[in-house]
Chain A
Amino acid sequence: MATIAPAAYDSKVEGNVIFSRLDACINWMRKNSLWPMPMGLACCAIEMMATACARFDIARFGAEVMRFSPRQSDVMIVAGTVTYKMAYAVKRIYDQMPEPKWVIAMGACASSGGMYRSYAVLQGIDHLLPVDVYISGCPPRPEALLEGLMKLQSKIEHERAIYDQKKELLEALS
């Protein structure tokens, strides 16, 4: 009967094994393939499109897969003025996104209502959704959106993916 040799002592495999925490691996995978839900509501959406195009190329950060279905997306980029009429529609789309999910408030309007201090405009999408990253600018340049995306990536890096998001599962197992 043949015996299986322990792999750890195989000199051909040894250099290709990395030890890490599962959290770190999951975060690393998540942050490098953030699929955005482009919530383009006003002029900020134009800058968001420019960010996706060749000159600025959001694909360098793994976020080029703009999904127009909330069920396939990870991060909602709220780009533009959120009117009260649109507010609940944005919330409904956010609710349909699977966990884990993040929100970027792009530009002055999405962050605070911007220059629209008026009866028709929601004074910041954070009245309805938990926002992870705010980007200033009116509208922000594509570099600013990329900076916001990188900020979100470093935020994801420090999340406790297993402990926080699989808490109920871990409790059920133990």
Chain B
Amino acid sequence: MTLEEAASRLESQFQIVNRKTFREEITLELTLAQIEPACRFAKEQLGFDFLADLSSVDNFGDEPRFELVYELYSLSSKIHLRLKTRVSEDHLEATSVVHIWATANWHEREVYDMMGIRFSNHPDLRRILMWEGYPYYPLRKDFPLEGKPSEIPEVAFTEPAPLAGGPFVSIPGAHIADREPRAHRVGDD
């Protein structure tokens, strides 16, 4: 099966919001309700037996704000298909695909930990990198790099990191010559 065949079979079965082809990679955008049945169809009927990645994007300012990205791969046909869906900030919940690909377990936990999107029917939806009780979702665009203070006694605490003069901190928006970190030292501004 070629990638084109797989994509058109999905298109005939499901309502596709958007289809993009870029450098011979096909991206299909589906509605949130259809992503789980589409994944099941892709696995069972089209032979996409490998979930290469499951990630999320924060399009801060857009509506719907978040995006889930599913990278599917078929080891037998050697084709790669990307499925996307939008998640609104008002209803941060998607359907889990753990029962289709077991590898989605930790990927979905990471999305939940970093972006705050919950997955219904997930067998064990806990934070994976931060600790239980940490009040923020640090990969969101409105979360500052230096962090925010938090404290759970005897478990963990956080404090904002000093960013001035850091070796990897650049100034957003400035000209590249002024943006360079080495142009800035503590006390310059």
Determine if A121 and B157 form an interchain contact, defined as CB atoms under 8 angstroms apart. Answer: no
CB-defined contacts of B168 to chain A, threshold 8 Å: 115, 117
Q: Is the interface of A mostly helix, strand, loop or mixed?
A: loop
| Interchain CB contact under 8 A, A118 and B130 | no
- CB-based nearest A residue for B156: A84
In the complex, what residues of B have CB within 8 A of residue A120's CB? 129-130, 138, 147, 158
Q: Which 9 A-B pairs have the closest CB atoms?
A: A119-B147, A117-B166, A117-B161, A119-B138, A84-B158, A84-B156, A123-B161, A117-B163, A85-B131
Decide if B158 touches A119 in the complex (CB within 8 Å).
yes
Indicate whether A117 sits within 8 Å of B158 (C-beta atoms), given known contacts A85-B130, A85-B131: no
Q: How many residues of B contact A (CB 8 A)?
A: 24
Interface centre among A113, A116, A118 (most CB of B within 10 A): A118
Give how many A residues have a beta carbon under 8 Å from the other chain's beta carbons: 14
What's the least CB distance linking B169 to chain A, in Å?
Answer: 7
Chain B interface, DSSP helix/strand/loop, else mixed: loop
Report which A residues bind B (CB closer than 8 A).
Answer: 84-85, 87-88, 113, 115-121, 123, 127
Q: Which residues of A are found within 8 Å of B144, using beta-carbon distances?
A: 119
Residues of B within 8 A of A119 (CB): 136, 138, 143-148, 158, 161
Q: Cα distance A118–B136 when bound, in Å?
A: 14
Asked if B37 is at the interface (CB within 8 A of a chain A CB), the reply is no
Nearest chain A CB to B186 CB, angstrom units: 13
Cα of A127 to Cα of B156 in the assembled complex, Å? 13
**Is the pair B161, A88 in contact by a Cβ cutoff of 8 Å?**
no
A31 and B147 CA atoms in complex are apart in Å by 40
B150 to chain A: closest residue by CB: A84
- Chain A residues positioned under 8 Å from B161 (CB to CB): 113, 116-119, 121, 123
User: CB-CB < 8 A to A85: which residues of B?
Assistant: 129-131, 156
Q: A115-B167, A121-B161 are in contact. List 10 more A-B contacts (CB 8 A).
A: A85-B131, A88-B154, A115-B168, A117-B162, A117-B166, A118-B145, A119-B143, A119-B144, A119-B148, A119-B161
Q: Which chain A residues border B143 with CB–CB below 8 Å? A: 119
Q: In this assembly, does B183 line the interface, its C-beta being within 8 Å of a C-beta of chain A?
A: no
Contact B145 A123 (CB under 8 A): no
Asked whether, in the complex, the Cβ of A117 is within 8 Å of the Cβ of B169, the reply is yes
**CB of B151, distance to nearest CB on chain A (Å):** 10
Cα–Cα distance between A84 and B151 once the two chains are bound (Å): 10
